[in-house]
Structures are given as structure tokens and as C-alpha cells.
Chains A and B, each alone.
Chain A
Amino acid sequence: MQALKALALTGILLLSNFGSKENGLGVGDKAADFNLKNVDGKMISLSSNKAAKGYILVFTCNTCPYANMYEQRIIDLHNKYAGQGYPVLAIQPNDTGKSPGDSFENMQARAKEKAYPFPYVIDETQQTTTTYGATNTPQVYVLNKVSDNNFRVEYIGAIDNNSRNASAASKHYVQEAVDSLIAGADVSTKSTKAIGCTIKWSN
């Protein structure tokens, strides 16, 4: 009976663990492709960048203070890894009616002001955000190319473990994940959580 109880409890714990990803992609899943409008007006999908061996897919926005704190770090990640085949691709997931600061025009202004070296696309229907199961900004999905037009999710979560001060972070989750992929090794920390802003969903 005790064993049964323990088994049931384990089941519940496992379910509740998967619960956070029940409506989205998990690590190991095939990354869903999309076709979203970039700030330059062009449509972007995972196959747009032929040289990409993977992506640092970041759900981020103009308005979240945490996204702002990580903005330079996102630019730095791109500058460090784009040349090695792992560019940043930033997706703005918020409904612009709920969050006017994240409108396409405001995204364009932000990208220009900060000279984003990566695409900053808008998920107008929020379908891609829903498919991935993104929950907050900023949130990263590290993708690795398995074959043509076939990318796999290798990491989901935070950029590092110090939102306040990049140089004080002791764990650089995304860097570690991408470094592992470049080295052909398994990603050791596959998912993390961080305090962030809710995705602003349309009604």
C-alpha cells in the first residue's frame, strides 16, 4: 500500500512537472517553424537563415523591465555565437492591444535605437508563442539543427542566474547550452526558471 502511494505520488509529481509544459514544446521536441514579420518588413522562418546550425530563440519585448535588463546580454549572445552558427532570433509575443509599448512601430524604433544585429519579429496571432508554450519574457529556447528544416529544442529558460548584474552571474545557462552544442556534447542544464513578466495575451 505504501509502495502504491509512493508510486501514485511520483506520478502526480511527474505530471505536475510536465504540467508547466503541457501546452507547449519541451526539451527534445521538434521546434515548430513559423513565418513572422521582422522589423524590416521581411518574413522570417527557421529556414530563412541557411547558415544557421541552430538558434538562440528569445521571447522578449520592449516593455518588460527584465527584458530590458537582458537586452545587452541578448545582443552579446548574438555577437558571440552568430558567427559560430547560432544566431539570436527574437520574437515579441505580447498582444499589442494589451501592451501598446510593444507595437510593431515601437519594436522598429527599439531595434533601430539599439541597432539589433538580429531579427526582431512580431507574433501577431500569438500562435507561435502558444505552440512553444512560452510563459514569460525574457525566455530562451536554444534550438539545434538535426537535418534540413528540422530543429530540436535543446534548452528552455533563463539566460543566466543574475538578472541584476551580468558580470556577477555564476551560471550562464544559454552560453553553456550553446557551447555544448558547438562541441557536439549534450546540454547538461536543460531547463531553468526565472522571474519575468507575464505574456500579455489577447482576450
Chain B
Amino acid sequence: MEVVKFEALQDIMETNSEKVEVINFWATWCKPCIAEIPYFQKLHETNDEVRVTLVSLDFADEFQKKVMPFVEKNGISADVILLDNIDYNSWIDKVDPSWSGAIPATLVINHKNGKRKFVEKELEEGEIESIVMELTD
């Protein structure tokens, strides 16, 4: 769990890795985000081929007060980073040009076959598994 700049996220998006990268954008204030976090935690626990990164868009000065307690209370063991850059317009398109900026949003990248999928909506139970499957050949 740490506070990072955009370059750290860019590393995850661009560096070749053996695992399918599942990157979820959320915040403690976002109710639909909180609702789907258990699905990502479950994916993290059950699928070794996947690396889940939960990117918090809470404010950096609230990391200890809001994000850390949330992670502890909910027993989240997937990677959690807080992206500390509120000049949103400078980086949203770099995640995906189709992203309006609304959260929750999720990016899945399989570096091994170059497949990538971005979704801007709250996922139903089982949906993230289907997306991972879709990107695995």
C-alpha cells in the first residue's frame, strides 16, 4: 500500500509481465466502487495468473485516514496504490481514450498477447472473471 505518481501506474500498464494485469479505479467515497471491490479481492485470491491492482483516487492526504482503514477493515490483500495526481485531464486519456473519468472503471491488460479491455461501469459478480477469460487465449 503506497501513494504513487502516475509513472508507477504507467509502469504497470506498459511493462511486460507474465500475469494478466487487472487495474481497478476506485475511491472510498464511491459507493458503486466499494460494491465491486469484493469481486476483485476474490479474483486476487483465486487466480494466480492475475495481478490485481486497486488504484485509489482518494486524496493523498486522506490515505491514512480513509484508505488504509478501509483496506484493513475489509481484509484486502490485493495491491492497493493511491494515485496522487488530481490534474485529472493530464492523465485520464493515457489510461484509455474512451474513459470519461467516471468511476468505477477497470482496465485489463494481457501483455503476453497484447489484448486489452477497458470498462467504465460497475461490474456484476463474475464479470471480471469473464473479462480475464476473454483476454486469455
Contact = CB atoms under 8 A, between A and B. Distances in A.
| Most chain A beta carbons < 10 A, residue from B86, B97, B101 | B101
B30 A197 contact: yes
| Most chain B beta carbons < 10 A, residue from A65, A192, A194, A195 | A195
Interface stretch (A30-38, A50-58, A119-127, A160-168): A160-168
A157 B89 contact: yes
Given A158-B88, A162-B87, A195 B98 contact: no
A16 B97 CA distance: 7
A20 interface: yes
Query: Is the contact region of chain B dominated by helix, strand, or loop, or is it mixed?
Result: loop
Of all A-B residue pairs in the complex, the 8 with the closest CB atoms, nearest first, are A135-B100, A136-B102, A192-B89, A198-B102, A193-B92, A65-B29, A193-B101, A194-B88
A173 B74 CA distance: 38
Interface of A: 13, 16-17, 19-20, 65, 135-136, 139, 157-158, 161-164, 170-171, 192-199
A157 to B, nearest CB: 7
Contacts of B122: 198
Interface string B85-99: 011111011000111
Given A158-B88, A198-B32, 17 more contacts: A16-B98, A19-B97, A20-B97, A135-B102, A136-B101, A136-B102, A161-B86, A162-B87, A163-B86, A164-B86, A193-B89, A194-B92, A195-B25, A195-B92, A195-B101, A196-B101, A197-B102
A16 B122 CA distance: 21
A20 B88 contact: no
B59 interface: yes
Contacts of A20: 97-100
